[in-house]
Amino acid sequence: MEEVIKIKGGKKLNGTVRIGGSKNATVALIPASILANGPVTICGVPSISDVESLSVLLQDLGVMVDVRSSDSILIDTENMQNKPLVHDAVNKLRASYYFMGALLGKYGHVEIRMPGGCYLGPRPIDLHLKGFEALGATVKYDHGCYVLDAPELVGTKIFLDIASVGATINIMMAAVHAKGRTTIENAAKEPEIIDVATLLNKMGAQIRGAGTNVITIDGVDELSGCFHEIIPDRIEAATYIVLAAAAGEEVKIENIIPHHLESLTSKLAELGVDMKIDIDSITIHGGLDNLHPIDIKTLPYPGFATDIQQPLTALLTQAQGQSIVTETIYTERFKHCFELEKMGAKINVMTPSSFINGPTPLSGAEVSATDLRCGACLVIAGLIADGVTTIRNIYHIERGYEHIVEKLTAIGAQIWRETFD
């Protein structure tokens, strides 16, 4: 049995979409919460499959996970035990690696299977491991599992060769109980890092500089429970903004932080999209007439996010001329281009760039979501295509977009799920 998403294109969208909590923050906040010696309540949790996978891993560790409402969970470590994380859920999401930093910080020992997630080209975790080693841990890889041991973690200065979000958060979590001061230089600056640091500081950690390229962590003996509300998801917001520009008549996207989206909105202004930006919302007046081609280069935050280039490519197929997307983060992140070509797009991929020639009419076809943001790209393409588009492998989409069919149906899209053998 396989479930697919079907979209009948050509419907003009009108209404309001509310953005949920950040997926990229959530998948780090949940592992970070196990550092507390008391209950942690997290509000604004998105309803996505990654959260279900993380909950399974928490329960494997003996952690109580109590769903308090549709978007609120309570995590209690009272009966927690440090067991090997070898459940299949580890393979379902890359963010399971955050348990490395959290468990190493709390217990000085971790055993975990190789993390999974979307394949976007090489995504080594060597920076994470080098950071743990710098703090005093030994790292072994044995029969498909990483085994980390540290009788004592001692603060030190760590320079990241690449400003990696995952490594920055993981080292930060490992360092909260380390003896003395840890300094992370060339740290990533993404808003999700600030959100994790905010949670840890509420617990009693002493972290300064999150959001800058130098983060300092002074080790503490104990962390306690707290309440935390997750920031809005800037990538979900960006996806719906692009979607509204492509298929909307008048669509308001609310519960956003505009500052987090400036790299996108500046490019959309260059493209010729009509937008009105308010304190916590943006209203898009869509339309595909007279869109100008643009060039994009993905960069670490506050540059143009790699996660946004795939959804935006669907819109660029309608610009009047050639647009160029250059990918500097994950150089193989172009599988969506080959799926778009099945719908009539004219794209030349010459790694690390894609050349999108427009405008080209898109036609409904059977396509596959090869990863999370490719799935978002294909949803946008399906909304502006002529005829019916069938998207397979939708589990990728459901890893990062909560209630996407329901949200789009509410603003007038003709979109539905079908199951077949």
Looking at the chain, which residues constitute the CATH 3.65.10.10 domain(s)? 2-20+232-420, 23-229
Q: Is pTM, for the whole model, over 0.75?
A: yes
The two beta strands, 226-229 and 40-43, are: parallel
Q: What is the pLDDT of residues 352-369, one digit of tens each?
A: 999 999 999 999 999 999
* More confident of the two residues 51 and 348: 348
Q: Is 255 flagged in the annotation as binding?
A: no
Write the single-letter amino acid at 266.
Answer: S
Question: CB 320: neighbour CB atoms within 10 A?
Answer: 14
Q: Is 88 flagged in the annotation as binding?
A: no
Q: Is 14 flagged in the annotation as binding?
A: no
Residues 353, 348: Cα–Cα separation, whole Å:
9
Please compute the mean of the pLDDT values over residues 243-265 and round it to a whole number.
Answer: 98
**Catalytic position from the list 118, 226, 374, 377:** 118
Q: Is the pLDDT of residue 12 over 50?
A: yes
Q: Is 417 flagged in the annotation as binding?
A: no
Mean pLDDT of the chain: 94
Residues 188, 176: Cα–Cα separation, whole Å:
18
CB 325 within 8 A of CB 356: yes
Q: What is the pLDDT of residues 70-115, one digit of tens each?
A: 899 999 999 999 999 988 878 777 788 999 999 999 999 999 987 7
Instruction: Render 126-176 in DSSP notation, one character per residue.
Output: HHHHHHHHHTT-EEEEETTEEEEE-S--B--EEE-SS--HHHHHHHHHHHT
What percent of the chain has a predicted confidence (pLDDT) above 70? Answer: 98
pLDDT value for 401: 94
pLDDT value for 306: 95
Kindly state the helix (H) or strand (E) to which residue 32 belongs, with its residue range: helix 23-32
Q: What is the pLDDT of residues 262-291, one digit of tens each?
A: 999 999 999 999 999 999 999 999 989 999
CATH architecture of the domain with range 23-229? Alpha-beta prism (3.65)
For residue 140, the cross-strand partners are 147
Q: Does the active-site annotation cover 377?
A: no
Alpha carbon separation from 62 to 55, 85, 163 (Å, rounded): 11, 12, 34
Q: Is the pLDDT of residue 217 over 50?
A: yes
2-20+232-420 CATH fold: UDP-n-acetylglucosamine1-carboxyvinyl-transferase; Chain (3.65.10)
pLDDT value for 368: 98
pLDDT value for 118: 52
pLDDT value for 145: 87
Q: Is 348 flagged in the annotation as binding?
A: no
Q: Is the pLDDT of residue 67 over 50?
A: yes
pLDDT value for 122: 44
Q: What is the pLDDT of residues 218-248, one digit of tens each?
A: 999 999 999 999 999 999 999 999 999 999 9
Beta carbons within 8 Å of 140's beta carbon, 6+ residues apart: 146, 147, 148
Q: Is 171 flagged in the annotation as binding?
A: no
Q: Is the pLDDT of residue 299 over 70?
A: yes
pLDDT value for 328: 94
